[in-house]
Amino acid sequence: MHVLSVLLLVAGFEATFATVCPVGSHRYGKACYFVIKELKSWYKVQQICAASHASLAVPNSSEEQTFIWELLQREFYPDGLGNGAWIGCNDINQDGVWNCPLRGGETNAYQNWGEGNPSNQYSGADCALIGDRAGGIWWNQYCNNHRYATCELAIIDYDPLFCLQIGSSGRITSPCLTDNHVLMELQAQGLVSCGKACLSHPKCSSFNLKDQGQGKMVCQLNDLALQNAATEDVVEMENCYGLDL
């Protein structure tokens, strides 16, 4: 299940209850950011972001720019970013007209081009990068060059109640508790109803939501928090989402 599927599962039932920022991604404002630490073309990283229903990050303010820049500095410490990291801005459709795709509620006013940039904008250097120096000023390059990247995933109303993990493929991998700690098993409509059931049970510390397909979900309430579980009590299971309260 992709990140957004989980988000919609949550939002579909009660938007204010919770949403998630996958472990391995980093929250700023109403978005989660994750860094692609492999060198890929702009087109390829756009696909990788899209596989998690995210898009290439676009700094829309100096604050967001600083957040992304500092995230990249941490992720690539101590070697640095090298030749930079792709962001969403590009002039692929019309040379010289830079488009920075936006999430809802964002404005496109912010730019952080370095001096003399964008350069060669009529000769195919159509994609923008955050550079390694000077607070990550932007420059532009050929989109087929292989660079790192940052993805940006919008979230809805955020409450740090749930925590899912994201694998290196960008897909969610979620550990679940084994059946040894099940207090009760219920049919659930989704993440929220399962979470509420756990909240209402005095001994419930975590829950497994098992998606059995065709709209059927099993909600297992557990007497142990995942974070306190021994290694042998935790299994990586497809279509099972283990969440601590």
CA distances from 234 to 194, 212, 228 (A): 19, 19, 10
Paired residues of 244 in beta bridges: 206
Interface with Ca ion in residues 39-58 (CB under 5 A): 58
Q: Which of the ranges 6-14, 116-124, 195-203, 231-239 carries the binding residues for Ca ion, by CB under 5 A?
A: 116-124
Residue (13 or 28) nearer to Ca ion, CB: 28
**Per CB under 5 A, does 121 bind Ca ion?**
yes
Interface residue with Ca ion, options 19, 25, 60, 193 (CB under 5 A): 60
Interface residue with Ca ion, options 56, 85, 126, 149 (CB under 5 A): 126
Q: 195, 189 in Cβ contact below 8 A?
A: no
**Per CB under 5 A, does 95 bind Ca ion?**
yes
Structure tokens of 145? 């060059």
Taken in order 163, 49, 101, 39, is the CA torsion positive or negative?
Answer: positive
Q: Which of the ranges 8-16, 71-79, 95-103, 166-174 carries the binding residues for Ca ion, by CB under 5 A?
A: 95-103
CB of 88 to Ca ion, least distance (A): 8
Distance, in Å, from the CA atom of 113 to the CA atom of 115, rounded to the nearest integer, reads: 7
Structure tokens of 127? 């994609």
Distance, in Å, from the CA atom of 37 to the CA atom of 146, rounded to the nearest integer, reads: 11
Residue (78 or 105) nearer to Ca ion, CB: 105
**Per CB under 5 A, does 91 bind Ca ion?**
yes
Residue (85 or 243) nearer to Ca ion, CB: 85
Distance, in Å, from the CA atom of 72 to the CA atom of 153, rounded to the nearest integer, reads: 16
CB of 95 to Ca ion, least distance (A): 4
CB of 62 to Ca ion, least distance (A): 12
Q: 71, 87 in Cβ contact below 8 A?
A: no
CB of 119 to Ca ion, least distance (A): 10
Number of residues lying near Ca ion (CB under 5 A): 6
Q: What count of Cα atoms within 13 Å lies in the side-chain half-sphere of residue 6? A: 28
Q: List residues binding Ca ion (CB under 5 A).
A: 58, 60, 91, 95, 121, 126
